[in-house]
């Protein structure tokens, strides 16, 4: 099974800050990574797929990069509505998806 | 507009059974792959089952042999039959439309609590 790790597990940031979250896979997964945002009590929302493709309707301040085993989600200028938990997910072993443990973005 | 609405969750004793439903609107459930993903309280996301558009099914090891995914094309509904429930099955269960890259539409979730 492909394991996904994320760092940091939590980050405190202010509105306007640039925030970077890292995801690492236990083996080469090419660009088969997606990123999700989840707010408390809500379902996850797809932000990025195939490492760098922005899902329709998602603000352009969100971007993704990486290939192989190391991936990054960047929020270029943090907005109040971006405080949430972010998960990476691999689909290289489709249909056996696995998620990272999550990164919580807190208000500083 | 795409909508997925789960139902059927609740409190169930260990060893019991429960069937979850996911009513879909905005697309045909048999035109897309569909998955169930769960989230234990305060924990991360776990994919547990998928039904391909063609009908093939797959399960995570944690539920294989106990859970069964199915669908009713006429009612445009996805199901998850859960048997031999354990405490570690306590979670919010989400249905999600699935592509080869991940999950693009999600329901709001239904809570299953396994406890005596």
Tokens 């960047």 found at = A74
Chains A and B: how many Cβ contacts under 8 Å? Answer: 58
% of chain B exceeding 70 in pLDDT: 100
* Cβ neighbours, 10 Å, residue B65: 9
Cβ–Cβ gap A95/B103 under 8 Å: no
> Which tens digits make up the pLDDT trace of A47-71?
999 999 999 999 999 999 999 999 9
Q: Tell me the chain B residues in contact with residue A94 when contact means C-beta distances shorter than 8 Å.
A: 100
State which H helix or E strand residue A103 sits in: strand A103-107
pLDDT exceeds cutoff 90 at A85: yes
pLDDT exceeds cutoff 90 at B96: yes
B111 touches A at CB < 8 Å:
no
First CA to last CA distance, chain A: 36
Q: What is the mean pLDDT of residues A3-13?
A: 98
């Amino acid at each position: 099974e492909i394991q996904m790790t994320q760092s940091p597990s939590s980050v405190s940031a202010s509105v306007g800050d640039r925030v970077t979250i890292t995801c690492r896979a236990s083996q080469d997964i090419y660009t088969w990574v997606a990123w999700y945002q989840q707010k408390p009590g809500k379902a996850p929302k797809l932000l990025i797929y195939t490492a760098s493709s922005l899902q329709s309707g998602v603000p352009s301040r969100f971007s993704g990069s990486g290939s192989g085993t190391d991936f990054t989600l960047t929020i270029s200028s943090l907005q109040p509505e971006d405080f949430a938990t972010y998960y990476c997910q691999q689909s290289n072993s489709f249909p056996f998806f696995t998620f990272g443990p999550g990164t919580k973005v807190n208000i500083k | 507009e795409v909508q997925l609405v789960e139902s059927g969750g609740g409190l169930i004793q260990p060893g019991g059974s429960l069937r979850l439903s996911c009513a879909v609107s905005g697309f045909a459930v048999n035109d897309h792959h569909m998955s169930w993903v769960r989230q234990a309280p305060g924990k991360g996301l776990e994919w547990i089952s998928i039904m391909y558009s063609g009908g093939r099914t797959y399960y995570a090891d944690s539920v294989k042999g106990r859970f069964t995914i199915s669908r009713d094309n006429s009612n445009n509904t996805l199901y998850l039959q859960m048997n031999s429930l354990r405490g570690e099955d306590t979670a919010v269960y989400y249905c999600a439309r699935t592509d080869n890259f991940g999950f693009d539409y999600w329901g709001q979730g239904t809570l299953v609590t396994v406890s005596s």
